[in-house]
Amino acid sequence: MAAAMKVVCMMFLVAIFHKHHAHGAISADTQKLIDEANMNGPYLGLLIPNLFEMNPLLQHPNYTSTNFTIDIAGRRFRFGKIVEKNVILVMTGLSMRYGYGPSDELPLEPNGDYTRNIGYIKFADYAENVTACNLHDNLLNNVWFQPEEVFPVDGTPEQRQHAFWIPVDPLYFNISKSLEDMELENCVNATTCLDETPRVVQVHRGTSAGIYVDNAAYRSFIYKKFNVSPVDMESAAVALICMQQRVPFIIIRALSDLAGGGSAESNEIDTFISLASNNSVNVVVEFIKRLVSDH
């Protein structure tokens, strides 16, 4: 699989937003802010999971804050510029997290990102016959992969379309190819470094799971079945919305581990989250630089 980096998972979804009129149950003051923002568009939208990954961008020398924000439905939309390109930043939140059991602390749990207070499921507990389970079957039945139902913004209402693969924008994809020559950071500090230097890799297929994947057998299955290299927790949901809204996008991620293909201690999020965040921000900024210079 094309995921040789061992750094924390991070998403920057880059999409372009054009001027439009917002409608809905919002206050008059908020509507005025939206109208003001629309007058200064279009924007590149950067969707980021949490503050660990947003703060390095806010502090990056190529990012300029306009100190203009819009708060809607619990989310803050931050407006700024990256190399003179108008951008909007917003946090998406994180997906579910894999863990070993009640006594094992989850990665990022001390920071309040994850909790063991609600409960967990251990699939092995649901085997049909534990003493004679030659086929490793279980009582959870089978899952059939299905295309998503999409109702495009420019389509006929209530007439659905089906989508299993969602293509990224061709222009963005071509620009991302040129990023493979970038040099990324390798060390958190003078004594803590990765065994291998992270690198930018352009992949042809990725997927999202509702939970954190740390399973070598499943990793091998999706690679052989669908030719999928990286698997993350958030990208597909946002990609579907971009497809529905006909908004061009690309996903830029820093990978945390080998999805079960590494050592038992391969998930080192707590140690390398700052390294991953910095590398991801640098790649996104460089992407926007090349987007601006090419157009």
CATH number of the domain bearing residue 233? 3.40.50
Residue 272: which of 184, 181, 182 has the closest Cα? 184
Work out whether strand 148-150 and strand 85-91 pair parallel, antiparallel, or are unpaired.
Answer: unpaired
Do 153 and 117 lie in a common domain? yes
Pair (130, 213) in one structural domain: yes
Q: Is the Cβ–Cβ distance between 15 and 244 less than 8 Å?
A: no
> For 40-49, 98-107, 112-121, which range has the lowest pLDDT when averaged over its residues?
98-107
Mean pLDDT of the chain: 80
Last residue of a domain, one of 70, 93, 116: 93
Q: For residue range 130-148, list pLDDT tens digits in order.
A: 565 566 666 777 777 888 8
CA distance 164 to 208: 12
pTM of the model: 0.75
First CA to last CA across the chain, in angstroms? 33
Domain boundaries, position 37: 32-93
211 shares a domain with 281: yes
pLDDT confidence of residue 263: 55
Residue type, 148: E
Supply 14's token pair. 């880059």
pLDDT tens digit sequence for 41-63 = 889 999 888 888 889 999 999 99
Query: What pLDDT, in 10s, does the model give residues 187-211?
Result: 888 888 888 888 999 988 988 877 6
On whether the CB atoms of residues 51 and 277 are closer than 8 A, the answer is: no
Domain-ending residue, one of 61, 76, 93: 93
What pLDDT is recorded for position 137?
67
User: For the chain, how many structural domains are there in total?
Assistant: 2
Domain shared by 123 and 143, yes or no:
yes
Per the domain annotation, does 7 fall within a domain?
A: no
Q: Is residue 17 part of a domain?
A: no
Do residues 49 and 147 both lie within one domain? no
Supply the Cα-derived Rg of the chain in whole angstroms: 21
Rounded Cα gap, residues 137 and 129, in angstroms:
8
